[in-house]
Amino acid sequence: MKVLGILGSHKCNGITAKMLDAVLTAVPAPHETELLFLEDYDIKPDTGEPNLVLDQIEQKLIASDVWVLAAPTYIGALSGVMKNFLDCLRQRMGRFDHTGAIHPTKFKDKHYLSITTCYTGTVENVLTGATDDTFKTIDKAMSLAGLIKIHELVLTNSYGQTKLSQAKKEECARWGAKIANKQKRDDSTVKRYIELFFMVAIMAFITMGIQRLINPTLVGAQFWWSVGSFVVIFYVLLAFILHFMTVMKHKRK
């Protein structure tokens, strides 16, 4: 397996680079790693002319099983360096249909992990979502190309930081060790729907148990019949809405 680190920072030795390095260093042998510092490349979009730089990068992307995209948050969003790379790559992300929608092909089912850093403090980031747009833009591009997300890592309070804390190093190392074990296909969707079923069942049981205290006529078989039918109807409707929001909407029909 090969892991490709893609660094979209102005600096090749900044704190974002250190986060990425900590992840890549922890990828165990015999898995291979490679680093792509985007500032080293003059990345331009396809315009019908030969585009050797993008060809070279595309080959690296195809040859890798996991991409680790690391970019600082600049002006509340993804760094321009990384955004330009994703914009230029769009043309090659898959097959275009007659409406201009992309259908993933060569990158489909690869995995990715995203990293960002920002000056914003941890609490402020949780409350205001300072890094949300950064991750959302990466996620959007990766979902167009058909990649599966592994995880996201964030380093806040980066002002003046030249070294990673021990805790951050360990967090990065944990994910570096984990990404090497990624299977080709992601089977977590079924797992999530099963979890959702049990969440709905438990919540319905608790809710209707409370209702039974208020309405003592809801007893015996009537109670269990009400709980069972509620769980099934509610779960089917919720699963349908979630499927529509996450799968159908992404097809952009």
Ligand X SMILES: Cc1cc2nc3c(=O)[nH]c(=O)nc-3n(C[C@H](O)[C@H](O)[C@H](O)COP(=O)(O)O)c2cc1C
**End-to-end CA separation in angstroms for the chain:** 35
| Stretch binding ligand X (CB under 6 A), from 31-39, 91-99, 114-122, 223-231 | 114-122
Closest CA to 106 of 124, 94, 118, 120: 94
The least CB distance from residue 29 to ligand X, in Å, is 27
Question: Residue with structure tokens 């920002």?
Answer: 118
The least CB distance from residue 130 to ligand X, in Å, is 5
Tell me which DSSP letter residue 248 carries: I
5 counts as binding ligand X under rule CB under 6 A: no
Strands (E), 12-101: 32-37, 66-70, 73-74, 77-78, 94-96
63 SS3 class: helix
114 counts as binding ligand X under rule CB under 6 A: no
205 counts as binding ligand X under rule CB under 6 A: no
**The two three-digit tokens of residue 155, written as one number:** 């380093």
| Residue of 29, 52, 75, 167 interacting with ligand X (CB under 6 A) | 75
| Stretch binding ligand X (CB under 6 A), from 53-61, 71-79, 211-219, 235-243 | 71-79
119 counts as binding ligand X under rule CB under 6 A: yes
| Stretch binding ligand X (CB under 6 A), from 113-121, 172-180, 224-232, 233-241 | 113-121
Measure the CA–CA gap between 35 and 8, rounded to whole angstroms. Answer: 11
Contacts with 108 (C-beta within 8 Å, 6 or more apart), sequence order: 94, 145, 146, 147
| Residue of 3, 5, 8, 16 interacting with ligand X (CB under 6 A) | 16
| Stretch binding ligand X (CB under 6 A), from 86-94, 115-123, 200-208, 214-222 | 115-123
Q: How many CB atoms lie within 10 A of CB 20?
A: 29
| Residue of 88, 130, 144, 153 interacting with ligand X (CB under 6 A) | 130
The least CB distance from residue 20 to ligand X, in Å, is 9
| Residue of 8, 72, 94, 176 interacting with ligand X (CB under 6 A) | 72
DSSP 121-142: -HHHHHHH-TTHHHHHHHHHHH
158 counts as binding ligand X under rule CB under 6 A: yes
Cα–Cα separations (whole angstroms), residue 126 to 15, 70, 129, 132, 134:
20, 20, 6, 9, 14
Q: Kindly tell me which of 159 and 240 has the beta carbon lying closer to ligand X.
A: 159
Q: Kindly tell me which of 37 and 197 has the beta carbon lying closer to ligand X.
A: 37
Residues that bind ligand X (CB under 6 A): 9-11, 14-17, 72-76, 117-120, 130, 158
